[in-house]
Amino acid sequence: MVVGGRTSGVLFLVVLTAIVTAVTGNSEGDALVALRRSLTDPGNVLDSWDSTLVNPCTWFHITCNQDGHVTRVDLGNTNLSGVLVPDLGKLQYLQYLELYKNNIHGTIPNELGNLKNLISLDLYNNNLTGIIPPTLGKLQSLIFLRLSNNRLVGRIPRELVNVSTLKVVDVSSNDLCGTIPTKGPFQHIPLSNFANNPRLEGPELEGLARYDTNCI
Protein backbone atom coordinates (compact mmCIF):
# COMPACT_ATOMS: atom_id res chain seq x y z
CA MET A 1 0.00 0.00 0.00
CA VAL A 2 1.34 3.41 -1.02
CA VAL A 3 0.24 5.34 2.12
CA GLY A 4 1.57 2.64 4.42
CA GLY A 5 4.84 2.63 2.50
CA ARG A 6 5.21 6.39 2.96
CA THR A 7 4.38 6.15 6.66
CA SER A 8 6.95 3.45 7.33
CA GLY A 9 9.43 5.40 5.21
CA VAL A 10 8.94 8.49 7.37
CA LEU A 11 9.15 6.42 10.53
CA PHE A 12 12.36 4.85 9.27
CA LEU A 13 13.83 8.32 8.67
CA VAL A 14 12.81 9.51 12.14
CA VAL A 15 14.40 6.46 13.76
CA LEU A 16 17.52 6.82 11.60
CA THR A 17 17.87 10.51 12.54
CA ALA A 18 17.52 9.64 16.23
CA ILE A 19 20.21 6.97 15.93
CA VAL A 20 22.57 9.28 14.03
CA THR A 21 22.02 12.06 16.62
CA ALA A 22 22.65 9.67 19.50
CA VAL A 23 25.81 8.33 17.90
CA THR A 24 27.34 11.73 17.06
CA GLY A 25 26.30 13.08 20.49
CA ASN A 26 28.01 10.14 22.15
CA SER A 27 31.24 10.45 20.21
CA GLU A 28 31.81 13.93 21.65
CA GLY A 29 30.75 12.67 25.09
CA ASP A 30 33.11 9.71 24.71
CA ALA A 31 36.01 12.06 23.93
CA LEU A 32 35.28 14.06 27.09
CA VAL A 33 34.95 10.88 29.17
CA ALA A 34 38.39 9.84 27.87
CA LEU A 35 39.71 13.22 29.03
CA ARG A 36 38.09 12.80 32.44
CA ARG A 37 39.67 9.33 32.85
CA SER A 38 43.08 10.77 32.02
CA LEU A 39 42.86 13.59 34.59
CA THR A 40 43.09 13.68 38.36
CA ASP A 41 40.37 15.89 39.79
CA PRO A 42 40.86 16.62 43.50
CA GLY A 43 38.22 19.38 43.44
CA ASN A 44 35.57 17.06 41.91
CA VAL A 45 34.82 19.62 39.18
CA LEU A 46 34.12 16.77 36.71
CA ASP A 47 31.55 14.98 38.90
CA SER A 48 28.66 15.92 36.59
CA TRP A 49 30.39 14.28 33.58
CA ASP A 50 28.05 11.27 33.44
CA SER A 51 28.92 8.98 30.52
CA THR A 52 25.46 7.36 30.60
CA LEU A 53 23.74 10.53 29.34
CA VAL A 54 22.92 10.80 25.62
CA ASN A 55 25.10 13.89 25.19
CA PRO A 56 27.38 16.00 27.39
CA CYS A 57 25.46 19.26 27.01
CA THR A 58 24.12 19.27 30.59
CA TRP A 59 27.54 18.69 32.16
CA PHE A 60 29.17 21.50 34.11
CA HIS A 61 32.04 23.32 32.32
CA ILE A 62 30.68 22.24 28.90
CA THR A 63 28.79 24.47 26.45
CA CYS A 64 26.94 23.17 23.37
CA ASN A 65 25.46 24.90 20.36
CA GLN A 66 21.77 24.60 19.39
CA ASP A 67 22.47 21.35 17.55
CA GLY A 68 23.89 19.68 20.65
CA HIS A 69 27.56 19.85 19.65
CA VAL A 70 30.23 20.82 22.18
CA THR A 71 31.59 24.32 21.54
CA ARG A 72 33.35 25.10 24.84
CA VAL A 73 35.33 23.24 27.48
CA ASP A 74 35.89 25.65 30.39
CA LEU A 75 38.22 24.06 32.94
CA GLY A 76 40.67 26.86 33.69
CA ASN A 77 41.98 27.08 37.26
CA THR A 78 40.34 23.90 38.51
CA ASN A 79 43.32 22.03 40.07
CA LEU A 80 43.34 19.33 37.39
CA SER A 81 46.44 17.20 36.81
CA GLY A 82 47.16 14.29 34.48
CA VAL A 83 47.58 14.34 30.70
CA LEU A 84 45.62 15.47 27.64
CA VAL A 85 44.17 12.81 25.33
CA PRO A 86 44.19 12.55 21.49
CA ASP A 87 40.42 12.02 21.67
CA LEU A 88 40.05 15.81 22.12
CA GLY A 89 40.59 16.04 18.35
CA LYS A 90 37.12 14.52 17.87
CA LEU A 91 35.37 17.61 19.25
CA GLN A 92 34.97 19.00 15.75
CA TYR A 93 32.67 21.88 16.75
CA LEU A 94 34.90 23.03 19.63
CA GLN A 95 35.66 26.76 19.67
CA TYR A 96 37.16 27.26 23.15
CA LEU A 97 39.50 24.84 24.90
CA GLU A 98 40.22 26.44 28.26
CA LEU A 99 42.53 24.36 30.48
CA TYR A 100 44.82 27.12 31.77
CA LYS A 101 46.18 27.29 35.35
CA ASN A 102 46.12 23.61 36.15
CA ASN A 103 48.93 21.10 36.63
CA ILE A 104 48.55 19.11 33.41
CA HIS A 105 51.72 17.40 32.19
CA GLY A 106 52.68 15.38 29.11
CA THR A 107 52.50 16.61 25.52
CA ILE A 108 50.02 18.65 23.48
CA PRO A 109 48.25 16.05 21.26
CA ASN A 110 48.85 16.48 17.51
CA GLU A 111 45.14 15.76 17.09
CA LEU A 112 44.26 19.24 18.39
CA GLY A 113 45.10 20.28 14.82
CA ASN A 114 41.81 18.63 13.77
CA LEU A 115 39.72 21.17 15.72
CA LYS A 116 38.97 23.26 12.65
CA ASN A 117 36.49 25.54 14.47
CA LEU A 118 38.83 26.30 17.36
CA ILE A 119 39.05 30.01 18.26
CA SER A 120 40.93 29.81 21.54
CA LEU A 121 43.52 27.33 22.80
CA ASP A 122 44.43 28.28 26.36
CA LEU A 123 46.87 25.85 27.99
CA TYR A 124 49.02 28.40 29.82
CA ASN A 125 50.29 27.77 33.37
CA ASN A 126 50.49 24.01 33.31
CA ASN A 127 53.42 21.57 33.21
CA LEU A 128 53.30 20.59 29.52
CA THR A 129 56.39 19.15 27.81
CA GLY A 130 57.32 18.27 24.23
CA ILE A 131 56.93 20.48 21.18
CA ILE A 132 54.24 22.83 19.93
CA PRO A 133 52.58 20.54 17.35
CA PRO A 134 53.03 21.81 13.75
CA THR A 135 49.48 20.48 13.16
CA LEU A 136 48.20 23.61 14.95
CA GLY A 137 48.93 25.36 11.64
CA LYS A 138 45.72 23.73 10.34
CA LEU A 139 43.58 25.74 12.76
CA GLN A 140 42.26 28.33 10.34
CA SER A 141 39.84 29.92 12.87
CA LEU A 142 42.33 30.27 15.73
CA ILE A 143 42.59 33.73 17.31
CA PHE A 144 44.09 33.04 20.78
CA LEU A 145 47.04 30.68 21.29
CA ARG A 146 48.29 30.92 24.85
CA LEU A 147 50.86 28.33 25.91
CA SER A 148 52.98 30.38 28.33
CA ASN A 149 54.41 29.00 31.59
CA ASN A 150 54.92 25.38 30.60
CA ARG A 151 58.05 23.37 29.75
CA LEU A 152 57.63 23.26 25.96
CA VAL A 153 60.72 22.72 23.80
CA GLY A 154 61.71 22.97 20.13
CA ARG A 155 60.98 25.59 17.47
CA ILE A 156 57.92 27.75 17.12
CA PRO A 157 56.36 25.87 14.18
CA ARG A 158 56.45 27.93 10.98
CA GLU A 159 53.11 26.37 10.04
CA LEU A 160 51.56 28.92 12.45
CA VAL A 161 52.55 31.76 10.13
CA ASN A 162 49.72 30.57 7.87
CA VAL A 163 47.05 31.03 10.53
CA SER A 164 45.94 34.47 9.38
CA THR A 165 43.24 34.77 12.07
CA LEU A 166 45.79 34.72 14.92
CA LYS A 167 45.68 37.85 17.07
CA VAL A 168 47.21 36.72 20.37
CA VAL A 169 50.15 34.33 20.70
CA ASP A 170 51.87 33.92 24.07
CA VAL A 171 54.57 31.27 24.45
CA SER A 172 56.60 33.06 27.13
CA SER A 173 58.26 31.10 29.96
CA ASN A 174 58.98 27.81 28.24
CA ASP A 175 62.19 26.24 26.89
CA LEU A 176 61.69 26.99 23.19
CA CYS A 177 64.63 27.47 20.83
CA GLY A 178 65.30 28.80 17.33
CA THR A 179 64.03 32.20 16.27
CA ILE A 180 60.76 34.10 16.54
CA PRO A 181 58.65 34.16 13.35
CA THR A 182 58.14 37.67 11.96
CA LYS A 183 55.76 37.06 9.06
CA GLY A 184 51.97 37.05 8.78
CA PRO A 185 50.16 37.34 12.13
CA PHE A 186 53.51 37.39 13.97
CA GLN A 187 54.14 40.96 12.76
CA HIS A 188 51.74 42.15 15.47
CA ILE A 189 52.76 39.95 18.42
CA PRO A 190 54.84 41.82 21.04
CA LEU A 191 58.28 40.36 21.80
CA SER A 192 57.35 40.09 25.48
CA ASN A 193 55.04 37.21 24.53
CA PHE A 194 58.18 35.21 23.64
CA ALA A 195 60.17 36.24 26.73
CA ASN A 196 61.78 33.90 29.24
CA ASN A 197 62.74 31.18 26.78
CA PRO A 198 66.51 31.16 27.47
CA ARG A 199 67.35 29.35 24.19
CA LEU A 200 65.14 31.45 21.90
CA GLU A 201 67.42 33.59 19.75
CA GLY A 202 65.31 36.60 18.82
CA PRO A 203 63.37 37.61 15.69
CA GLU A 204 63.98 35.65 12.50
CA LEU A 205 66.17 37.53 10.02
CA GLU A 206 65.29 37.52 6.33
CA GLY A 207 67.28 34.88 4.45
CA LEU A 208 68.95 33.45 7.53
CA ALA A 209 67.95 29.92 8.52
CA ARG A 210 69.95 30.09 11.75
CA TYR A 211 66.95 28.91 13.75
CA ASP A 212 67.60 25.34 12.61
CA THR A 213 70.97 25.06 14.33
CA ASN A 214 71.09 23.75 17.87
CA CYS A 215 67.30 23.51 18.00
CA ILE A 216 65.45 20.21 17.90
Interface residues toward ligand NAG, by CB under 6 A: 43, 45, 78-79, 103, 105, 127, 137, 158-159, 161-162
Comparing CB distances to ligand NAG, the nearer of 104 and 177 is 104
Q: CB-based contacts of 102: which residues, under 8 Å, 6+ apart? A: 75, 76, 77, 78, 79, 80, 81, 125, 126
Comparing CB distances to ligand NAG, the nearer of 45 and 119 is 45
Q: What angle is formed at CA 140 by the lines to CA 134 and CA 22, rounded to 5 degrees?
A: 100
Q: Are 117 and 64 in contact (CB under 8 A)?
A: no
Measured from the CB of residue 190, what is the shortest distance to ligand NAG in angstroms?
22
Comparing CB distances to ligand NAG, the nearer of 43 and 190 is 43
Measured from the CB of residue 82, what is the shortest distance to ligand NAG in angstroms?
12
Comparing CB distances to ligand NAG, the nearer of 89 and 130 is 130
Measured from the CB of residue 144, what is the shortest distance to ligand NAG in angstroms?
20
Burial class (CB in 10 A: 0-12, 13-18, 19+), 41: middle
Measured from the CB of residue 142, what is the shortest distance to ligand NAG in angstroms?
14
